[in-house]
Amino acid sequence: MRAMPPPSDETDEKRLLARARAGGRTAFGALVTRHDAALRAYLHRLTAHRADADDLAQETWLRVQRRLKAFDGRAAFRTWLFAIATNLARDHWRARRRWREDAQDQARALAESTPGAPEGLRQVAAGSPRGRYELREHVGFCFTCVMKTLPLAQHVALLLVEVHGFKDREAADVMGVSLARLKHLLHAARATMNRVFAQRCALVGKTGACHQCSELNGFFNGDQSREQARVAALQRALTRGGEERLLRLRAALVREVDPLQGPGADLQDAIMRLVHRAVARRRG
C-alpha cells in the first residue's frame, strides 16, 4: 500500500486553526509560536521601538484571540494577522509621525554632546549578550531608519513585500487596498529609498553624510579588518546593476537579521534609542 505523504505546513496550520477556533489553548499557543517572531520583527521595523513593538504585538494577539471564531479563512492566517497588526500600528504612527532624513545625524550629534553617551554604548557592547557590532545588523538598522522617512502606506507596502516576503496581492489584502494602489505605493517607496541611500550610504561608494558603518565598527571593534571583508563583498555586490537591484540586495540583508534577537540587537537598540531622543528633541 502506498504511504500517505506527510501533511503540508498549510494543512497543519488549518488543523491548528480549527482547534484554536474551537477553544483549544494548545493549538492557539502553537499558532503564536509559529508567527510571533515575524510579527514582532515587522512591528519593530515599523515603530523602531522595542517596547512599542512589544505592546502592539500583545494587543494584536489579544484581538486575534477575540476574533478568531469570525475568521473565515478566505485569506491566509498570516495575512489576517498582519492586517490586524497594521491597523493597530496606524494609530501609533499618527502619534509619532515620520522621521526626517537626517535623523541619524541628529543622533550622532546628540551622542557627541551628551556626557557619558559614548561610554554607555561601549558598556552595552561589552556587557550585553546581544551587544556585538555587526555590519549586517547595522545595514538593517539603517534600512529601518530610512523607511521611517516614508509615509506610512509606503512604509508598510515596502516592508511587507521587500522584507517579509508577501506577494503583491497578499500585501494589498493586508493593507486593504487595490493591487494597483499597492503597486503605486511600492514604486514611490522604492524611489524614495533609492534616493536617500544614494545621498547617504558610503557603503556603495556614494558621497554624503553616512558615517556609521565604518566609524561604529572602529568604535566598537577597534580592528577595522574585522568587517573589511564583508564591506568589500557588499560593495562588489551592490555596485552591480541598477538602483532596484541595490534595494533588493539591501532588503535581502535585512531579511537575514532578527532585529530583536540577533547578535547585536541590544547594541542597535541602544543606538536606536538615541535616534528617538534626537528626533523628539528636534520636534520639541
Q: What percent of the chain has pLDDT over 70?
A: 82
Chain centroid to Cα 84, Å, comes to 17
Q: How many CB atoms lie within 10 A of CB 127?
A: 9
Terminal Cα distance for the chain, rounded: 74
CA dihedral 230, 258, 52, 251 (to 10 degrees): 60
Q: Is the pLDDT of residue 256 over 80?
A: yes
- State the average pLDDT over residues 249-264: 89
As a residue count, the chain comes to 284
Mean pLDDT of all residues in the chain? Answer: 85
Q: What stretches of 112-195 adopt beta strand conformation (E)?
A: none
Among 140-144, 160-164, 216-220, which is the least confidently predicted range?
216-220
Q: Is the pLDDT of residue 162 over 90?
A: yes
pLDDT tens-digit readout, 4-20: 333 456 678 989 999 99
- State the average pLDDT over residues 258-268: 94
Is the sign of the CA dihedral 150, 85, 284, 275 positive or negative?
negative
Domain boundaries, the chain: 13-96, 98-284
Q: Is the pLDDT of residue 211 over 60?
A: no
How high is the pLDDT of residue 240?
60
How high is the pLDDT of residue 156?
97
Distance CA 191, CA 189 (A): 5
- State the average pLDDT over residues 214-235: 62
Among 14-28, 31-45, 128-142, 261-275, which is the least confidently predicted range?
128-142
How high is the pLDDT of residue 212?
63
Taking domain 13-96, whether its CATH number is 3.40.50.150 is answered by: no
- State the average pLDDT over residues 278-284: 78
Query: What cell does 177 get?
Result: 487596498
Q: Is the pLDDT of residue 221 over 80?
A: no
Is residue 40 a contact partner of residue 260, using CB atoms and an 8 Å limit? yes
pLDDT tens-digit readout, 93-120: 776 767 888 888 898 899 989 999 989 9
Measured CA angle at 141 (ends 135, 145), to 5 deg? 140
Confidence grade of residue 268 (pLDDT, cut at 50, 70, 90)? very high
Specify the higher pLDDT residue, 174 or 236. Answer: 174
Is residue 280 a contact partner of residue 226, using CB atoms and an 8 Å limit? no
pLDDT tens-digit readout, 169-207: 999 999 999 999 999 999 999 999 988 887 777 555 444
Distance CA 62, CA 39 (A): 13
Q: Which long-range contacts (CB under 8 A, 24 or more apart) does 113-120 make?
A: 117/274, 118/219, 120/270
Q: Is the pLDDT of residue 284 over 60?
A: no
How high is the pLDDT of residue 188?
97
What lies within 8 Å, CB to CB, of 160 at 6+ separation is 42, 82, 166, 170, 171, 174, 175
* pTM score: 0.87
How high is the pLDDT of residue 283?
65
Q: Which amino acid does the sequence have at 65?
A: Q
Distance CA 247, CA 242 (A): 9
Among 206-210, 232-236, 274-278, which is the least confidently predicted range?
206-210
pLDDT tens-digit readout, 36-94: 999 999 999 999 999 999 999 999 999 999 999 999 888 899 999 999 999 999 888 77
